[in-house]
Structure 1
Amino acid sequence: MSNPNPKPTLENTQLKDIVAHAKEYGFVFPSSEIYDGLQAVYDYGPNGVELKNNLKQLWWRAMTQLNPNVVGIDAAIFMHPLTWKASGHVDGFSDPMIDNLDSKKRYRADVLLEDKAAEYENAGDKPRADALLAEMGKLLTDNDLAGVRQLIVDEKIKCPVSGTANWTEVRQFNLMFSTQVGSVEGDSTLIYLRPETAQGIFVNFLNVQKSARMKVPFGIAQIGKAFRNEIVARQFIFRMREFEQMEMQFFIRPGTEMEWYNKWKETRRRWHEALGLPADKLRFHDHDKLAHYANAAVDIEYEFPFGFKEIEGIHSRTDFDLSQHQALSRKKQQYFDNDLDEATGKPYGNYVPYVVETSVGADRLFLAALCQAYTEETITEGEGEKEQTKTRTFLKLHPALAPIKAAIFPLVRKDGLPEKAEAIFNDLRHDFRLVYEDRDAIGKRYTRQDLIGTPFCIAVDHQTLEDDTVTVRHRDSREQTRMPISELGRYIGDAVSFKRILENL
């Protein structure tokens, strides 16, 4: 029998350190923690909400500001229940579920198999990993749940808690949350919390196209909450029941979908790299099992402490969504294209557009940014007999993403230094998110800012009173630069501008 309490690996130890750091320094808290929390639901703290908002704003600007043919909307969470009938969620939005009879723990059957495939790949046996994923994809496509269970048994997959392979049968589990509304009459009082934000875009396709005078190809972007009753919610904020999506649906002429699919696939990977996620920790993963609406799909995966996992999906959705809504609503979802077809010399005319989707999990992106930024390094301080080596922990966030852009410190709390520091703070706070702090030794203040990722600390000392210069300490290198107060706004502004990221796209 396997050891039910295996020793912690480097990977899950690192994740535990990051989770603890996120709570202690105001990034992420367990929701309603005073009542022992609610599984797979989290709250963003003072620093977390700033980082998450920066990530969302950067995505929004990259989509709607750099692409003149992409506009945004903010659709309601509640939608007419027929929306989810048309989309296929009512009849087919489920995951394969399996229980271990000894531990009483519930798992997603496909995730168990994906984790096994990752083991093979990490051991250097990629052909075996690919074969396992291909077999799983075929079984799920055929809805052969007995075959999925047998594959788990054949692969000798055991419950990580009990260490046994005493599995139940595999069943399908619907992921949508439902609720009641009093304003809908008769039997239609059942509505759903949306499981994705995309449908709010599709049902507004013509509203946006006409009001914004958009011409195919064009995109509609949206950031919003979605809700899924996950079978197994784990790995911190990676898989939650309430989460936020950043999606863009790009409407195109039928027959051009693969061209646009490949273009957006490369464009979105470059965006993640510009954000600061290294190329060697990103990879594409093509889907073995395609969703009912897709003719091509790929994930952009990031290497978290728990392995490569999806942070963004790019899907060629064909005309499935608009055609389904057209059929069920009996309202045409067509676009008249007056561009000339080179083959016939005539206008393309009316058609239901095809769609290429890019969908980023805002919470997963937040976690990837946090994992990438979390840095521990060995440094040496002091000289001679006072020299000592210690471990320094800091968040190496891109300055544009950092929750706090700069911290203002008077060296001491007297001699007019606090007043001078406050004057600098009051001048710069109109442009940047700042903190002012005058407690404890300045070394401790530097450390506190390192732990939340503040890129610059500005020290006001007695020389400042003489020549209006300050010392700017840089988070990553710990180097210090003397500069005039009059240059601070330009210097910080240049470093923390989103332009520093967007210009790399």
Structure 2
Amino acid sequence: MDLLEKVVALCKRRGFVFPGSEIYGGLANSYDYGPLGVELKNNVKKLWWDKFVHGRDDILGLDGSVILSPRVWEASGHVAAFTDPLVECKSCHKRFREDFLENAKECPECKGELTLPKMFNGMFKTNIGATENKESVAYLRPETAQAIFINFKNVLDSRHPKLPFGIAQIGKAFRNEITAGNFIHRMLEFEQMEIEYFISPKSDWEPIFDDWLGEMKSFLQEMGVDLSKVKVREHADKERSHYSKKTVDIEYEFPFGTKEVYGLAYRTDFDLKKHSEVSGTDLVYHNVETGDKFTPHVIEPSFGVDRSLLVCLLEAYKEDGQRVYLSFPPKIAPYKVAVFPLLANKPELLKGARAIYETLKSQMVVAWDDRGNIGKRYLSQDEIGTPFCITFDFQSLEDRMVTVRDRNTTKQERVAIDRLPEYLQNELK
């Protein structure tokens, strides 16, 4: 098995990621996050929010609706321009995005002849209300950004931020993907962490753009990513989105090729001006010190949550002889610590271990495991990326110390029970 196959198998076996609708034969490009996957996902989102919202003075948060007025998408250009070229095999009738076939002239599945490309809109269309007609059409959002733009005035009027400032959002987006993805890299339903960073049109935007590029790389490093596997690729003119003056992809060397993880775009004033024009609402910034009124320009750092998780899993996957472990940085590990009694059938050991578990549980996310022998418990926690395992044994009854085992090195250390919280806080930094 290659690395991706090993990670996919581990994710299913240990409860990180499950195939979507599996008992009904599955649904292409659809996955569900299991008990450990949702913990990992929440930790990645918290790391991002702490870094870019709580850790800065110039970013405010927002949580916009998934379904917006269809006029939003008409104004933004998505109804007309959010399209991809689609080809169909004349033999097996499977459909593919032409831009993903890399100039192939035949079907990748059956070698059949392909049709000429037709443009296909990638937005999911739905209807609001009891009747389905042109007036009831709505869309599931294909990006989170537009909710930020249409709330620009609300944020200005309620919080009065000074330029430059950003509005951040984490939320679901939906795209009608035809081409099969690689695990959670490309899905019908995915989650984005996006910032719209508003600047004066007179600002030198390029240094700000470069600063955000550095911040995005820094975030990857904080998740344990080796930056030697990260590439930055600028979009050619014909590849750039309709709203962008400059776009770069931050790419990662996946087992299936070097592909996009994050994107950074200079959207100029396209979105705010379009929404001002179509809605009739003035989306301008008023500089009270100079009296100037103008439409800000926007730099957009966009982070994929699911792609972040895939990169984290691939980077963390390690094999050490017969042992497999996930070397997550403690900040994103689903469990920080696991607590065991040496033997599950000894009440005195159960009681001692349980007391430690209850104490630590109020301070961090802790796993409890009393199944099987101690060796298997260690291996199980290694596979889910738990940084430390604590074992309460017979000696603990005498000296009030426990064995603490390190996931990465497997080294063990005796630590006094009353020092455990302090010890772990230092080790988990």
TM-score, structure 2 normalization: 0.95
Give 2:128's aligned residue.
181
Secondary structure of 2:320 counterpart: strand
Unaligned runs of 5+ residues in structure 2 are none
Letter in 1 for 2:340: F
Per the alignment, residue 263 of structure 1 pairs with 211
The alpha carbon displacement at 1:102 in A equals 3.6
Counterpart selection for 2:304 from 342, 346, 361? 361
Q: 1:21 aligns with which of 3, 6, 10?
A: 10
Cα deviation for residue 158 of structure 1 reads: 4.5
**Partners of 2:123 and 2:42 in 1: how far apart?**
27
CA contact (8 A) 1:396 1:476 kept: yes
Cross-structure match for 1:71 = 60
Shift of 1:165: 6.4
Matched, 1:324 2:274: yes
1:86/1:184 Cα in 2 relative to 1: closer, same or farther (>3 Å)?
farther
1:376 aligns with 2:319: yes
CA drift of 1:75 comes to 0.6
> Which one of 401, 424, 429 corresponds to residue 332 of structure 2?
401
Q: RMSD of the TM alignment (CA)?
A: 1.7
Match of 2:263 among 294, 309, 313: 313
CA distance in 1, matches of 2:427, 2:259: 31
Which deviates more from structure 2 when the two are superposed, residues 264-273 or residues 46-55?
Answer: 264-273
Residue 100 of structure 1 contacts residue 166 of structure 1 at CA under 8 Å; is this kept in 2?
yes
Aligned to 1:437: 369
Does the 8 A contact of 1:297 with 1:313 survive in 2? Answer: yes
What is the rounded CA distance, in whole Å, between the counterparts of 2:421 and 2:86 in structure 1?
55
Aligned to 1:276: 224
Distance change >3 Å, CA 185–CA 174, structure 1 → 2: closer
* Partner SS state of residue 367, structure 1: helix
| Higher-Rg member (1/2) | 1
CA distance 1:102–1:14, shift in 2 (3 Å): farther
Distance 1:333 1:183 in 2: 34
Query: In the superposition, relative to structure 1, how do residues 421 and 216 fare at CA in structure 2: closer, same or farther (>3 Å)?
Result: same
Per-residue CA deviations over 1:270-327 (Å, capped at 9, x if unaligned) read 2212221101111101111211111111011111111211111000000000000000
Distance across 1 between alignment mates of 2:407 and 2:45:
24
Q: Is 365-374 or 487-496 further displaced after alignment?
A: 487-496
Mapping of residues 74-113 of structure 1, within 5 Å: 74-113=63-102
Q: 1:224 aligns with which of 150, 171, 175?
A: 171
**Residue 32 of structure 1 corresponds to which residue in structure 2?**
21
Q: Secondary structure at the match of 2:253?
A: strand
Report SS of the residue matched to 1:447. Answer: helix
Structure 2 distance, partners of 1:309, 1:328, is 36
Aligned partner of residue 188 in structure 1, secondary structure: helix
How far 1:166 moved relative to its partner? 2.1
SS of aligned partner of 1:357: strand
Distance 1:210 1:182 in 2: 32
In 2, distance between residues paired with 1:91 and 1:160?
Answer: 29
Paired residues, what number? 425
1:195 aligned counterpart, secondary structure: coil
1:239-275: CA deviation from partner (whole Å, max 9, x where unpaired): 1001100000000001322221111111111221222
Q: CA deviation at 1:444?
A: 0.5
Asked whether the equivalents of residues 173 and 231 of structure 1 are also in contact (C-alpha less than 8 Å), the reply is no
Distance 1:255 1:222 in 2: 26
1:237–1:364 contact (8 Å) kept in structure 2: yes
Q: Say whether the 8 Å CA contact 1:233–1:241 is kept in structure 2.
A: no
CA spacing shift, 1:185–1:227, aligned 2, 3 Å: closer
Alignment partners' CA distance in 2, 1:250 and 1:494: 35
User: Which position in structure 2 is the counterpart of 1:491?
Assistant: 423
- Structure 1, gaps ≥5 residues long: 1-9, 114-151, 340-346, 379-390, 501-505
